[in-house]
Structure formats: structure tokens, C-alpha cells
Amino acid sequence: MLRLHHFAAIACLQGALLLGNVPVLGQTSDEAVGLPAAITPNLEGIVDLAETDLPLGVGYLSPRRRAGVQADWLSEVELPLYSEPGGDHWGWIWQGWLIPNGQQAFAIGRDASFTMVSVDPLLLAFPVLEAREDGWLQLQYTNGGSAWIHREQLDDRGMELSFYSWADRLAEADIVALRNRNDAQVLRSQPERGRNVLSLVSPSSLIEPLEVKDNWIRVRVTRPANGCEPLAGASEQEGWLQWQNNDGEVLLLPSRDECAG
């Protein structure tokens, strides 16, 4: 159960949000500030981490049910942010804006560069760097900026959100793909490094997930293929790929090709 001052952060008073000090639950304040109108984020100012070699964390935050495309769903989000687990209320992601307490509102993708990750052909999500057992999630919103949110508040206001781990998402995907599209990965007979190499899997291969075990994923690889379609004379091979290295770097992602959606 979150402490009372956590829940106070989601209080709206006469249609205005307290953007300065967070009040005690039920307390009113003369420092209420009018909110900016909801906006759709500008995609030109959003960096897709799936196209970089930057860390993707342990999973991502996205709508529980599909709503709109790309980052449009942020225009409906009302999410309180905290400085640390159990710490002070820091600000909001509010209907397309990042609003730090006591500061100006920043339009997501317009006033500053934001970071998200594409998790299918039509959806951008926020990377989650850490997921704690007590419900706290560390949300990344810029290359060097992050804040904490709590699972209990993901459906308190606005759009209902959920956290999805990469391991679960890969296991449920129809097709997965190598994150580095310029390199191959070793297919192994067992979920471990050793003298068990079967072949090299290129980024152009069709890769279907069968089972996730720790940092490994058992797959069925079809080659040659064009996108999601096997080419004439294609053959199949099953084995294990490492989807996450020892440093926590994500090496495979759910396929973002249109045919995999």
C-alpha cells in the first residue's frame, strides 16, 4: 500500500493539478496551476532506442489496450513521477507533457529529446530500467533522465498502463528479430556458451520463439527468408539464442516488421 502522500500526488482540485508541493491528502492549496491542453507528441523529437545500442532495461511501459499509434497514447496519460522508491513526488507525465514540479511543462518530443522504444510496428513505449518486487518501476524518458512510478498508480487516472518484461514479451511474440541488424548471432544446441555451435543466424532470418529460459530463448530459424516469408528451398533449424547478455543488454526484440504485428 502506498503511503498517503503518494496518493495525494494524484489529487485534482476543481480541475487544476497541484504542480508545486504535493498536499496532504484532502488538503487544498492556493498554488494550483492550470494545466496545458493535451497534445500528441512530436515523433521527430523521440529517439527509438531499438535502433541504437543503448540499454533497454528490463521491459517497458505501454497501454494495457491498444489506443492510437506510435506515441499518440501519451496524450491520454496522467502519471505521477517520484524521485526514488518511496520518495518525494517529482512531477508528472500529463497528456503529452513532462511537468516537473515547480518548473515549466515540456512538450514530449518538441521541447526536448525523449527516448522510447518501438515494441511493434505501431507502438512506442517507455523503457523500464528496473522493476522492484515492491511495485516500484524506474521509467526512462530521456537518455540521461529517469523517474520512479508505482504499479498501483498505473490505472489511477487517464489511460490504463501495464509493465511488460522483455522475457515475457519475447516468449509471447510470433516472431523475434536480432536487435543489431548488421550482425549475426550464434545458434547453439544448449542454452549456454561452449562447444555447442550449430550455425550463425543472420538478421534476415525468420526467427520464431519456442521457449525462454533465463537469458536464452529456444527458437526455430527459417532460412532463407524475405521478411516473414520463407523463400523457395528454405530449411528450418531449432536451437538456442542468447536474448540478453551478462550485462543485461537486450540482444533480441519482438519483430517490428509489419507482417509480425
Q: What is the pLDDT of residue 159?
A: 83
- pLDDT value at residue 213: 97
Q: In this predicted structure, what is the pLDDT of residue 260?
A: 54
pLDDT in tens, the chain (261 residues): 454 344 444 443 223 344 433 332 223 333 445 789 999 999 999 999 999 989 999 999 999 876 568 999 999 999 999 999 999 999 999 999 999 999 999 999 999 789 999 998 889 999 999 999 999 999 999 988 999 999 999 976 678 899 999 999 999 999 999 998 888 999 999 999 999 999 999 999 999 999 999 999 999 999 999 888 899 989 999 999 999 999 999 999 999 876 655
What are the φ and ψ backbone dihedral angles of 196, each rounded to 5 degrees? -135, 30
At residue 156, the pLDDT reads: 66
Q: What is the per-residue pLDDT for 43?
A: 94
| Sequence spans of domains, the chain | 43-165, 173-254
145, 260, 147: which is closest to 209 by C-alpha?
Answer: 260
Q: State whether residue 227 is helix, strand or coil.
A: coil
pLDDT at res. 258: 62
Fold designation for 173-254 = SH3 type barrels. (2.30.30)
Burial of 102 (C-beta count, 10 Å sphere; 0-12/13-18/19+): exposed
Q: CA 199, CA 184: separation in Å to the nearest integer?
A: 10
pLDDT at 29: 34
Q: Please report the pLDDT score of residue 6 as a whole number.
A: 41
Q: Which residues contact 145 (CB under 8 A, 6 or more apart)?
A: none
Give the residues across from 158 on adjacent strands: 77
At residue 18, the pLDDT reads 40
Phi-psi region of 259 (alpha: psi -120 to 50; beta: other; left: phi over 0): alpha
Phi, psi of 184 (to 5 degrees): -105, 165
Q: Which three cell numbers stand for residue 143?
A: 537518455
pLDDT at position 25 is 24
Cα 251–Cα 254–Cα 257 angle in degrees, nearest 5: 115
pLDDT, residue 176, reads 95
